[in-house]
Chains A and B, each alone.
Chain A
Amino acid sequence: MSDLLDRQLLFVTGKGGVGKTTTAAAIADLAARRGKRTLVCEMDAKGAMASMFEVSTLRFEPLEVQPHLWAMAMNTEDSLREYLRVVARIPLVGRIGPLARTFDFVADAAPGVKEILAIGKICFEVRERHYDLVVVDAEASGHIVAQIDAPRAIRELVQVGPVRDQTEWMLSILGDAQRTGLVVVTTPEEMPITETIELVGKVQSTTEVDVAAVFANRVLPQWFEPAERAVFDRLCEPAPQALLAEAVGARVSSVFHAARLAESRRAIATEYLARLRESLPVNVPVHEIPELFTKASGRRVVSLVADQLRTELP
């Protein structure tokens, strides 16, 4: 397995709410800072990626958001337009507006068509080597297999025809672990961990895409060493608390309450992380991103997470 940032195409997925978009932006930011021409693409058009880089909107046409880093938002209609122009050489680009909307509806109904238009555009950028690295803020874990496996699904479903003809070269990119990898983002909580373990299994058994890494996000810092933890517990007992209340004031109990809450959440998170590591195949590394206690948002957060990734990724 090659190093994460040496690949050419990384899909970033994860259960909703775990920080998938932030992580994708941070991976792209880190690669760009290392001098790689990088494209980051948001697949679900929710606009979250635009706020990461503090631009108003992202479009299909990539926008240079910082040196070496371009950002775009996937749009299947534009992808179709580009496909028709570049590959199928159909000369009706000017008139395609309403046509594409109708097509959109067929694509909705016909299995895999939208997915392949999206994935096709991504693979095209990789094949043409317009960038050193393409980072995809991909579908959430529930839909990611349908997305990355679209070319194979189409190949099985469609006996013959132009769509099928396009799948071969896409599969050669997607199935090449030197070039392509899937990154799964999770948080150390029950449902995200369970989903991650299931997803990694499913991706490995049903698709040809290599699982490159799992990122555990928002890992709470460990407040105490084990010995200190015991001391902390004893300090929480009534007698020391009475002494502390005398010296500090009654509100000291709230301060200790916050510490206890953080410690118990941390202890649970540690168990889930252990379960994650045990359950994943040995060749899938787990990287941790600590909880960032910051009021920052946007570029600042991207850069803070990228700093954390830098220590994890050689």
Chain B
Amino acid sequence: MARSSKYSLADLLSAKEMVVVCGSGGTGKTTVAAAMGARAAATLGGRVLVLTVDPARRLATALGLGAVGNTASQVPDTAFTEAGVECRGELWVAMLDTKAGWDDLIRRHAPDATLREQVLANPLYRNITGRFVNSHDYIAMEQLHDLHASGRYDLVIIDTPPSRNALDLLDAPGRMREFFGSRLLKWLTVPYRSRLFTVASKPFYQVADRVLGSRFLQDIAEFFILFQTMEAGFVQRATEVERLLTDDRTTFVVVSTLEAAPAREARFLADELRRRRMPLGAMVLNRTLPAGLRQPAVAKAAVKLREVAADAAAVRELAKTASSRPAQVRDVLVEVADRFRDVTVVAGREAERRAELETAAPVTAVVPTLPSDVHDLAGLLALGGHLLGNGSR
């Protein structure tokens, strides 16, 4: 596969320790992350961990991922051997478990056992952790930090959660940090009675009371008073996690297909990463049609095929070779030739978007549409081969 620069994804993965794979939903992000990990472990060596969010069930089974959250398990060497590949390194996989991740955070930061149990038992806790400051995203980044800091892995590849907006992920640690310093939290956690008399908060209180009701506000306040006891720990961690995102050892890989919406999102994401000084290392263009389809010679062949279909003698000869009835052969040839136009419309659309996306990152890896879905290690390794580049360097 032709590449837009002399570096390949393999070079990038050799140079970095943390890879954040992002992109819009439905682009094959999870599969790409797993395929990069499998190939990196097999050919680059070292201990590689893929932290995945929500793999397709068959893929999860193939990798030996059970229902157990947050614990890493190794894909056995024999699985590689069965797939016809010798693995130089080790491939580890783990699944992101947001709930367990939050509980871990609370356990780590709670000042004592009583407070810890109070938070974990608070009815608002689940609800709030499920929503506020985009808790999925924060936990994903937190886990990345943890795994990297453990020193157990040479390369950690993290597949990111389906965000409403990819930026939420990048901003999650910052928002977490800001949340603790916010006037809102201060206001919510001052004693209830004095809150009533704070002049500055009066109009706000009036609105909040009319909309939410004082009882509900009180419940929320009580929870945040508990939560505030963990401020120091949370803020320090969020700062560290935030720093990790701009670290030299981290790189971002954006996955996109060449359809309109994902391509738009990918370009937007690339711009935003640059603005935040977060290093975009590679753009993966997934499920593309073979580039050769757009060559004029191929289009001409389709036109010629249509002519052959109209040639009764040629059809008869083909029918004999293919042991089929001539009428059927003719119909099939017509169908193949006519439908080729549909394919070229898509290929044309793709070429345009491909040109736009190819300049976004130092490395562009192009993956063709595969005839079937990937749900085993052999499939991942094959996909990884496309990604890491057996092609020109």
Given contacts A140-B25, A247-B314, A113 and B212 within 8 Å (CB-CB): yes
Residue pair A249, B373 in contact (C-beta under 8 Å)? no
Evaluate contact between B184 and A158: CB separation under 8 angstroms: no
Contacts of B375 in A (CB 8 A): 190
Given A163-B216, A248-B305, A268-B373: A237 and B56 within 8 A (CB)?
no
Please give, as numbers and ranges, the residues of chain A lying within 8 Å of B165 by CB-CB distance: 44, 46
Residue among A189, A230, A240, A260 having the largest count of chain B Cβ atoms under 10 Å: A240
Q: How far is the CA of A146 from the CA of B346 in the complex (A)?
A: 36
Q: How far is the CA of A258 from the CA of B337 in the complex (A)?
A: 10
Chain A residues near B348 (CB, 8 Å)?
Answer: 295
Residues in A neighbouring B271, C-beta threshold 8 A: none
Residues of B within 8 A of A231 (CB): 322, 324-325, 328-329, 332
- Contacts A92-B203, A262-B343; A249 near B300 (Cβ below 8 A): yes
Task: Please choose the segment from A11-19, A27-35, A304-312 that sits at the chain B interface, where 4 or more of its residues have CB less than 8 A away.
Answer: A11-19
Interface residues in A231-251 (C-beta closer than 8 Å to B): 231-232, 234-235, 237, 239-240, 243-244, 247-249, 251
Tell whether, in the assembled complex, residue A260 and residue B371 are in contact, meaning their CB atoms are under 8 Å apart: yes
B182 in the interface, Cβ–Cβ < 8 Å? yes
Flag if A264 contacts B27 (CB, 8 Å). no
Smallest CB separation, A165 vs chain B (Å): 9
A265–B290 CA distance with the chains assembled, in angstroms: 15
Contact digits for A7-43, partner B, Cβ 8 Å, 1 yes 0 no: 0000000011110000000000000000000000000
Question: Within the complex, what minimum Cβ distance (angstroms) separates B290 from chain A?
Answer: 7
- Within 8 Å by CB of A223, from B27, B216, B335, lies B335
Contact yes or no, B207 A84, CB < 8 A: yes
Does A227 contact B26, Cβ atoms closer than 8 Å? no
Q: Which of A80, A106, A243 contacts B184 (CB 8 A)?
A: A106
Residues of A within 8 A of B131 (CB): 108, 111, 146
For the residues of A in contact with B, the DSSP-based class is helix
Counting chain B residues whose Cβ lies within 8 A of the other chain, the interface size class is 35 or more
- Which residues of B are found within 8 Å of A268, using beta-carbon distances? 372-373
Interface stretch of the complex, out of A95-103, A121-129, A171-179, A207-215: A95-103
Any chain B CB within 8 A of the CB of A254? Answer: yes
Let me know if B317 is at the binding interface, CB within 8 A: yes
> Chain A contacts of B184 at CB under 8 A?
102, 105-106, 109
Q: Classify the interface of chain B: helix, strand, loop or mixed.
A: helix
Q: What is the bound-complex CA distance between A189 and B374, given in angstroms?
A: 11
Asked if A99 and B128 make an inter-chain contact with CB atoms under 8 angstroms apart, the answer reads: no
Number of A-B contacts (CB under 8 A): 228
Contact residues in B for A110 (Cβ distance below 8 Å): 128, 212, 216, 220
- Taking CB atoms and an 8 Å cut-off, the chain B residues in 337-371 that contact chain A are 337, 339-343, 345-346, 348-349, 369, 371
Q: Would you list 26 pairs from A and B whose C-beta atoms are within 8 A, ordered by A residue?
A: A15-B26, A17-B261, A48-B261, A80-B211, A88-B210, A92-B206, A102-B184, A105-B184, A108-B133, A109-B132, A111-B127, A111-B131, A113-B211, A146-B130, A157-B123, A158-B215, A164-B213, A189-B373, A224-B332, A228-B332, A234-B324, A244-B308, A255-B301, A255-B340, A293-B342, A293-B345
**B positions within 8 Å CB-CB of A:** 24-27, 56-58, 123-124, 127-128, 130-133, 162, 164-165, 179, 182-184, 188, 203-204, 206-208, 210-216, 219-220, 224, 257, 259-262, 289-290, 292-293, 295, 297-298, 300-302, 304-305, 308, 311, 314, 317-318, 321-325, 328-329, 331-333, 335-337, 339-343, 345-346, 348-349, 369, 371-373, 375
Residues of A within 8 A of B (CB): 15-18, 44, 46, 48, 80, 83-84, 88, 90, 92, 95-96, 99, 102-103, 105-106, 108-113, 139-140, 142-143, 146, 153, 157-164, 187, 189-192, 194, 221, 223-224, 227-228, 230-232, 234-235, 237, 239-240, 243-244, 247-249, 251-252, 254-262, 264-265, 268, 293-295, 297
